[in-house]
Chain A
C-alpha cells in the first residue's frame, strides 16, 4: 500500500535529530510536527518570524498576531523567540537551520526542485521557498510520487519553472525513500506492500535501487 500523507510525515519525522532547528513547509511537511520521536528535542522555525512553534491553539485561544507561515493560528513553546523577516531569512541563509522539509511539484534526478509556478495556471508566488532551497544544508521533499494524472514527479529534468538548483538531498514519497546521488534517484526504502517494480514504473528519472533496500519501518 502506498503511504498516506500522515505516514509520509511519520517517516520524515525519523530524520529529526536531537537539537535540530527545523523549518517545515506548508502541507504534508506541517504534519511532521505530529510525529517528533520521543526523546528528540527539536525547535520548529516558522519563516514569518518565530523559533519555537507549538501546536495549534485550543478553540477560543486563537490570536491574530500569532500565526505560522501558512497563516494558521498557532502557539509558542517555552524558550521561543520572535524576530523580523530579515532575521528569519538571515538564519536560513547563513545555514543555521538544520533541516528543511518542503513539498514539490517536480524533483529532478540532480536535485533541482520546482514547486512555485505552473505557467498559465497557477501563479501564486514562491513565498520563502527560493530562499530556503538556496541555502538549506539538508532538504527533504515530501510529496506523492505521481501527480493526479499519474505522471511521475521524479524526473530527469524539471519541466516547470525551477525553484532552486541541485538542492534536494532526499525524497520521501508515498512509495518510498530516495536519496539524490550522482547517479540520480537511489531507492533506499520502499513503502510496505509497494514493490520495486511499481516504484520503477512510477519513476521517470534515472533510478537505482540500493543493494540494501528495505521495507520502510515507522
Chain B
C-alpha cells in the first residue's frame, strides 16, 4: 500500500518477468549478486533472456545456473572467464555474447538512471569495440582526445542485491558488494531489490542512503544467502 514496495519473496518479485526480456543483474563476480532472484528465475524457467551483468557467474552458481537451463540467449558483460558451460555455449553459437569494457558497462547503466541516452568514452577507441560506432573528438582540460559514443542501456527489469533496505526501497550497499548494484537499481524500467536486512522507514539514516527508493519498484527480505567466495585468498 502507498509507498510500501515489499513483496513476500523472490518468486513474487520476478512474477512479471517473461521470456525474451532484457534484464540487468547486479554483482561483480559472485560478490553482491541477487542470489534469491536468480534461483527464482531458474525455478520459473523463463528463456530467451538477454542479461546485462559484469560477469556470467561460475559453472554452478550465479548466472551460471541460468546458463545450465539454457535460459540466456545473450550476455552483455565485461569479463566471462572461469565458466566452462559459458565457454561451451559461446563457442557452439548457442549463446550470443557482447563484450563491453567494464567502465563503459557501468557508465551505460549510470546514464540510464540519469536519463541520458548516450555517453562518450575513450575506452575502446581503435579497437574492435569501436567498430560501427560514432566517434567524436573533444578537448577536456586542454587535452584533445577521441571518444566513442555509447548508448545507455534499456532493460525491462533490473535485479539487484543490497545490504539494507527499507520498505520504501531506500538502499544501502556493503563494501565492494556495491559495484554495479546502485547503477542498475537506478536504470531498470522496473527494479527489483533483494536485501539482507529489510527494515521499517526511518530506521536507515537519510545521510547514509546510496539509492533512494524512488528508483525501486519491488523489495523483499532475502533468505539463505550462500555468498560464495570465488577466490578465497588469505595471508600465508
Enumerate chain A interface residues (CB-CB to B < 8 A). 46-50, 55-59, 61-68, 70-74, 82-86, 88-89, 92-93, 117, 123-131, 134-135, 161-165
> In the assembled complex, which residues on chain B have CB atoms less than 8 Å from the CB atom of A46?
176
28 A–B pairs (Cβ distance < 8 Å), ordered by A: A47-B102, A48-B176, A62-B233, A62-B234, A64-B30, A65-B176, A67-B29, A67-B229, A67-B230, A72-B232, A73-B233, A83-B178, A84-B178, A84-B183, A84-B210, A86-B110, A89-B106, A93-B122, A125-B77, A125-B80, A128-B102, A130-B101, A130-B103, A130-B123, A134-B121, A135-B122, A164-B126, A164-B127
Across the interface, do A131 and B234 meet the contact criterion of CB distance under 8 Å?
no
Judged by DSSP, the binding face of A is loop
> In the assembled complex, which residues on chain A have CB atoms less than 8 Å from the CB atom of B28?
48-49, 67, 71, 85
Across the interface, do B79 and A82 meet the contact criterion of CB distance under 8 Å?
no
Known: A48-B31, A125-B78. A73 touches B101 (CB 8 A): no
CA distance A127 to B122 in the complex (A): 15
> In the assembled complex, which residues on chain B have CB atoms less than 8 Å from the CB atom of A89?
102-103, 106-107
Interface string of B94-109 (1 = CB under 8 A from A): 0001010111111101
Whole-angstrom distance from the CB of B25 to the nearest CB of chain A? Answer: 13
Whole-angstrom distance from the CB of B109 to the nearest CB of chain A? Answer: 7
Across the interface, do A59 and B176 meet the contact criterion of CB distance under 8 Å?
no
Tell me how many residue pairs across A and B have CB atoms closer than 8 Å: 169
When the two chains form the complex, which single residue of A55, A56, A61, A64 contacts B227, counting CB atoms closer than 8 Å? Answer: A64
> In the assembled complex, which residues on chain A have CB atoms less than 8 Å from the CB atom of B182?
84
Residue picked from A50, A65, A93, most chain B C-beta under 10 Å:
A65
Nearest chain A residue, comparing its CB with the CB of B77: A125
Residue picked from A61, A71, A162, most chain B C-beta under 10 Å:
A71
Known: A48-B31, A125-B81, A161-B128. A85 touches B231 (CB 8 A): no
Query: Is B169 positioned at the interface, with any CB of A under 8 Å from its CB?
Result: no
When the two chains form the complex, which single residue of A47, A59, A67, A134 contacts B31, counting CB atoms closer than 8 Å? Answer: A67
Query: Is B125 positioned at the interface, with any CB of A under 8 Å from its CB?
Result: yes
> In the assembled complex, which residues on chain A have CB atoms less than 8 Å from the CB atom of B31?
48, 64-65, 67, 71
Query: Is B235 positioned at the interface, with any CB of A under 8 Å from its CB?
Result: yes
CA distance A109 to B32 in the complex (A): 41
Whole-angstrom distance from the CB of A155 to the nearest CB of chain B? Answer: 16
Whole-angstrom distance from the CB of B128 to the nearest CB of chain A? Answer: 6
Known: A48-B28, A73-B233, A125-B81. A86 touches B107 (CB 8 A): yes
CA distance A93 to B107 in the complex (A): 11
In which size bucket is the chain B interface?
35 or more
When the two chains form the complex, which single residue of B90, B102, B125, B177 contacts A126, counting CB atoms closer than 8 Å? Answer: B102
> In the assembled complex, which residues on chain B have CB atoms less than 8 Å from the CB atom of A163?
127
> In the assembled complex, which residues on chain A have CB atoms less than 8 Å from the CB atom of B117?
none
> In the assembled complex, which residues on chain B have CB atoms less than 8 Å from the CB atom of A67?
28-29, 31, 176, 229-231
> In the assembled complex, which residues on chain B have CB atoms less than 8 Å from the CB atom of A134?
121-125
> In the assembled complex, which residues on chain B have CB atoms less than 8 Å from the CB atom of A72?
231-233
Query: Is B54 positioned at the interface, with any CB of A under 8 Å from its CB?
Result: yes
CA distance A128 to B123 in the complex (A): 9
Query: Is B43 positioned at the interface, with any CB of A under 8 Å from its CB?
Result: no
Across the interface, do B102 and A127 meet the contact criterion of CB distance under 8 Å?
yes
> In the assembled complex, which residues on chain B have CB atoms less than 8 Å from the CB atom of A74?
233
Query: Is B228 positioned at the interface, with any CB of A under 8 Å from its CB?
Result: yes
Query: Is B208 positioned at the interface, with any CB of A under 8 Å from its CB?
Result: no
> In the assembled complex, which residues on chain B have CB atoms less than 8 Å from the CB atom of A63?
175
Across the interface, do A66 and B176 meet the contact criterion of CB distance under 8 Å?
yes
When the two chains form the complex, which single residue of B102, B175, B234 contacts A66, counting CB atoms closer than 8 Å? Answer: B175
Across the interface, do B123 and A65 meet the contact criterion of CB distance under 8 Å?
no
When the two chains form the complex, which single residue of A58, A82, A84, A124 contacts B80, counting CB atoms closer than 8 Å? Answer: A124
8 further contact pairs, Cβ within 8 A, besides A74-B233, A128-B102:
A65-B177, A83-B178, A86-B183, A92-B103, A129-B101, A134-B125, A164-B125, A165-B125
CA distance A86 to B185 in the complex (A): 13
CA distance A93 to B125 in the complex (A): 13
When the two chains form the complex, which single residue of B99, B101, B128, B235 contacts A131, counting CB atoms closer than 8 Å? Answer: B101
What 10 A-B pairs are tightest by C-beta distance, nearest first? A89-B103, A131-B103, A124-B81, A85-B106, A64-B227, A130-B101, A72-B233, A125-B79, A128-B102, A134-B122
